[in-house]
Amino acid sequence: MAFSLKNSLMERGPLEQRWSALEEERQTVCKELNGMVKAWRSIEQSDKSCSLNNQPLNDIFLSNHGDLTGPFHSDVVQKFQDGYDIEIDEDVSVDFTHSDLVPSKILTSSGPNPIIAAVLDWGQVGWYPAYWEYFKARRVRPNPEDFDDDLDEEWNTKYLPTIIDPVDETVYHP
């Protein structure tokens, strides 16, 4: 069983390596990813910020902010906003977040009309302020061999906002 699963996954490739060759399929891939993001964001947790099993958050961006790893039972969003000097006046929810949703972590099927085969690396998941997924996805740079500067800019400005609700970066710029 493990052998066939491994072989099956090896037939797929990271979106990072396939993106430049995709044209019309890009919108379909983004729409599928958007559905996945909405599905995992619907996983309920009380107004708490933590990783699975009420453990501290394990996000690499928080490695120098131990005060933000929690778990927190109240004022979650305010703690993040104070810790990163964010000024957002609107209410922000706390949502289940992959926290590393970048093209290298997204496997697609091979051949024409690719579909999402898997989203990998769930080691940083947890309940974060709703803007965290978008923030992280914008700041983690794909491999420049697969994603040159123009492709990265297009991904961040045209496609990523169709996958994850964008954040107004004039008020959010950690």
Give the CATH number for residue 145: 3.90.1200.10
Residue 154 lies in a domain: yes
SS3 readout for 75-140: CHHHHHHHHCCCCCCCCCCEEEECCCCCHHHEEECCCCCCCEEEECCCCCCEEEECCHHHHHHHHC
Residue 172 lies in a domain: no
State percent of the chain over pLDDT 70.
Answer: 87
Residue 160 scores a pLDDT above 70: yes
pLDDT (tens digit, 9 = 90+) per residue, 21-74?
888 899 999 999 999 999 999 998 766 778 888 888 888 888 888 788 888 777
Residue 173 lies in a domain: no
- Within 13 Å of residue 48, how many CA atoms lie on the same side as its CB? 16
Q: Provide the whole-model pTM.
A: 0.84
Nearest C-alpha neighbor of 124 from the set 152, 103, 96: 96
Residue 124 lies in a domain: yes
Residue 3 lies in a domain: no
Q: The domain containing residue 154 runs over which residues?
A: 12-163
Domains identified in the chain, total number = 1
Instruction: Give the pLDDT of residue 2.
Output: 46
Query: What is the number of other CB atoms lying within 10 angstroms of the CB of residue 52?
Result: 12
